[in-house]
Amino acid sequence: RAKRKTGSGGLAGCVVGFTAPAHYAPRLSELLRHEGAEALWCPTIATECTDETRAAVESATGIKAFADALRGRKLPGDPFIVAALGRDGDYLNELNVIDCKVLGPATPTPSGLVEALGEGKGRRIMCPVPSVVDLEEPPVVPEFLRDLTTRNWRPVRVNAYITRWMGAECAKGLVSGSMDALIFTSSAEIEGLLKSLNSLGEDPSKWTDEKRRPFLVAAHGPVTAHGAARLGVPVDVVGSKFSSFSGVIQQLSHRVALDRRT
């Protein structure tokens, strides 16, 4: 499936599409270019502020909005604990606007976060999550809240930002282009893609049938891969170090190298 290597980098000569929202696009594009790939960005979802937050969001900017709201305030707890996944925890430390203990799980998944938090002992925990528009809410959100309750936390759901579908023609760039691989960073992106393909009258089997599909599909981590399977999209590559996007890029480069040798 991969083109013959014509330059430096593990993905040299490859066109790699990705459907992530704008907040993630610069980082993914940079990593792909570093590996010699041509990046094809075609977002199928967008993340936006609510009327209350007035902040551009994704995970990291949701954290920024949270930190800005608490700037200069005396926080409860000794210490006040903020739990975040992967680079998001590093980002909160970099902001340095609130006095808190940042808890980052060894396994950067929602279930890993619950394990790192331990027993809640009846304490309340605020959970900034997205309000999903024109798409189904991914199971990961209610499952996360349920798992917290199981560990005797009292989760307080806060719809801190909006995740919405980019519309009927959002997949047009992927349909009209030619690519060697496609990266998903969330199951919402996959649902958005499939919904757009249906609106465009495209045959979905090109995307869901591994034998017919002329490109590799990569998932940022196991949570995204599980969501892809639920939506009927088989995944060829799963990032193993999913605290940052470099993990899935490395795994994709490895798979492309194997394919080139066969």
Query: Which pLDDT value is given to residue 244?
Result: 83
Amino acid 76: pLDDT: 64
Asked if residue 108 lies in contact with residue 245, where contact means CB atoms within 8 angstroms, the answer is: no
170, 42 in Cβ contact below 8 A?
Answer: yes
- HSE value, Cβ hemisphere, 13 Å, CA-based, for 156: 5
The 10s digit of each residue's pLDDT in 203-253 is 988 889 988 899 999 999 999 999 999 999 999 999 988 778 999 999 999
What domains, with CATH codes, occur in the chain? 15-44+166-261 (3.40.50.10090), 55-165 (no CATH)
| Rounded distance between C-alpha atoms, residue 40 and residue 204, angstroms | 20
Judged against a pLDDT cut of 50, whether residue 102 lies above it is answered with yes
To the question of pTM greater than 0.75 for the whole model, the response is yes
Compute the distance between CA of residue 153 and CA of residue 146 in angstroms, rounded to an integer: 9
Predicted pLDDT of residue 53: 46
Give the contacts of 261 (CB within 8 A, at least 6 positions apart): none
Our CA dihedral for 52, 136, 165, 246, rounded to 10 degrees, sits at 90
Is residue 39 very low, low, confident or very high in pLDDT (cuts 50, 70, 90)?
A: very high
Residues 88/245, Cβ–Cβ less than 8 Å: no
Sheet with 124-133, side-by-side order of all strands: 45-48, 154-165, 124-133
Say how many CA atoms lie within 13 Å of 256 toward its Cβ. 29
The mean pLDDT of 172-178, rounded to a whole number, is 90
Q: Which of 43-57, 80-94, 132-146, 200-214 tops mean pLDDT?
A: 132-146
1 pLDDT above the threshold of 90: no
Q: Which helix (H) or strand (E) holds 45?
A: strand 45-48
How many contiguous H segments (helices) and E segments (strands) does the chain have? 10, 10
Average pLDDT over residues 152-179: 93
Average pLDDT over residues 186-213: 93
